[in-house]
Amino acid sequence: MMEMAEPDENFQKVEVLLTLACNCRCVFCSFGDKTSKKVKPVEEIQRDLEFAKRNRARIVSFSGGEPTIVKALPEMMAKAKGLGFERIEMQTNGRMLCYEPYADKLVQSGLDVCVVSLHSHRPEISDLMMGVNGAFEQTVQGIKNLKGRGVYVLVNVVATQYNYKEIPELTKFLVDDLKVDGLHLIMVAPDGSARAGGKRVIPQMTEVAESFRKAVGYARERISEVWTYNLPFCLCSGFEGAEVEINMSLTQLRAPDFTVSIDDNRFRDKAKFEKCRQCRFDAICQGAWQKYVDLYGDAEISPVAGTPITSADEFRKEFPPMVRPEVEGGKKTGRFIRGSKGEKAPETTAPRNR
């Protein structure tokens, strides 16, 4: 694999995608039917970790597909721990973590932050969305096992036609019953299986935004952090501070067959319109997915009046990020990166349908 050029000083994170293979068949998967069984060789993973360390990345995240089906994962986490990264993260559907010995092994290897996917508090809906009977029970137990071992747990919730109306209820379940540390509320991106499913899978953004508004309102004072993904700024009234694109840490994704800057890639395939020029968020908003516009049109896009905001710094000053740096007992939870002018800004992970 060709090494990329040296990153700038804001380079924060390397995401090591171990495989596209997965033990779920999610109806909204970004990769769709492109789930190759190829697994990145251990030697290549080691080179990725060394690249990250050499280029001053603070965070290493292991992802997939599903990283827990890769036998070398504990060994590679231990390698990352030995290299001294500030944070070792994993993105997972959580099913394998229901087995306590395996959860123990990953924690002992260095896992300290885990992003787990759970899309409904109702087992039948969760299993339908993940494509596996019994997945809900395994994932819930996996979250409990992680929390019991002191791992900082964030949950990805992907909003689709199957679950978007009940996301406020799901939020209460995650916050009150599972005691998760943070939430990622993700408007499904029109890629892979979601795109193939069309309107059967992809809901309208305005309806999802209303559900997110209620969920954020409940979670914002009860957990350490809450973020929303894939909505234009004009639809985020009342939860602007949760808008993730303005706060995302700079991330490079290193997969078995390709390397890409997630931060550059996420600006691709978006559409903006003449009316966007009248919006105060025009300079910082990415717009809507072009494939979404092809499906539903642009009628939902409505300019927001007011003094133009031209930088992330200006945005964060008016709409502070929904991150609480401390929780009960004085445990430090809020995680920060350096902003464009040296001030602190929250760090969070890049979104996919997972």
Residue 12 has what pLDDT?
85
Assigned domain for 221 exists: yes
Task: Tell whether 158 is covered by a domain.
Answer: yes
Number of domains in the chain: 1
In a domain, 278, yes or no: no
Distance CA 279, CA 303 (A): 4
Asked if residue 189 is part of any domain, the answer here is yes
Q: pTM for the whole thing?
A: 0.89
Asked, for residue 226, whether it belongs to a domain, the answer is yes
- Which stretches in the chain have pLDDT values below 70? 1-11, 33-36, 248-249, 255-267, 324-354
| Residue 299 belongs to some domain of the structure | no
Position 301 in a domain:
no
Structural domain contains residue 286: no
pLDDT digits (tens, 9 = 90+) for 219-264: 999 999 999 999 999 999 999 999 987 776 677 777 666 666 655 6
pLDDT at 123: 98
Predicted pLDDT at 37: 78
Q: Which domain holds residue 140?
A: 11-269+320-346
Identify the CATH number of the domain in which residue 153 sits: 3.20.20.70
